Amino acid sequence: MPAGKPPLRLFAILARDPRLFAKFFSGGLLDRGHLSLRQRELVIDRTTALHRSEYEWGVHVAIFGEKVGLTDSQVASLAQGSPDDPCWSDGDRPLLRLCDELHAGSDVSDATWDSLKRLFSDEAVIELLLLAGFYTTVSYLTNALRVRLEPDGVRFPSAIEGPARTQSPAHEAAADGLPSGATASVEQGGVGHRPQIRSLGDLPPACRVHGKLRAGEAAQDEAGDCIGEGR
């Protein structure tokens, strides 16, 4: 995302509590592991789409979609299609089926497991399960907190909808990363409940990637592509 913009809204929300913030980022899997960048993003995009987390899906498609070679038909299929859609290769389909089965029943069929084992090591399959689980948690956060969509995020195709966006006062505040009792705008500087978070220096250390994270921007680290530290 372009430099000079504030940190991602989800980061600002979590940064209100350094302990929760650090725990969240320590559980991420955006460093180089047993998966390629494309494999990782397919799992993230499909998982967040299944949970109708338009916020997280849109952030990842915007930042990584072109980089991992997602076509328009593949983006649409991730949001509302099927692993059997003709846009997918035989190497992509088992990843999407994994996400679909975990979402539907919190389990993986023998057929899907066997197809994954033909393509991945034991360690990579474990990483896939952890990745889907982590972004299920992220989806819970973004949906339940009604996190406002990022202006540069990709939107779901018009045929589908995210969760209802009606907001109570608590949701309204949380959506901007404010304490539940605060209603003033961050841009107007009217909130006295916590320090304003507008740049790297305002974020807790857990959000920084070797000092390279610029406000609102995906940092490229030698160890891998990441948003914040490990998310």
The pLDDT tens digits for 42-55 are 999 999 999 999 99
More confident of the two residues 114 and 218 = 114
Return the amino acid letter for 151.
P
> Could you tell me the pLDDT band of residue 37, with boundaries at 50, 70 and 90?
very high
pLDDT(210) > 50: no
Which residues have C-beta within 8 Å of that of residue 205, sequence separation ≥ 6? none
The reply to whether the predicted model has a pTM over 0.75 is: no
Render pLDDT for 108-146 as a digit per residue (tens, 0 to 9). Answer: 999 999 999 999 999 999 999 999 999 999 999 999 999
CA–CA gap between residue 223 and residue 68 (Å, rounded): 17
CA 224-14-58 angle, to 5 degrees, is: 60
Return the amino acid letter for 212.
K
Q: Among 18-22, 102-106, 164-168, name the one with the lowest average pLDDT.
A: 164-168
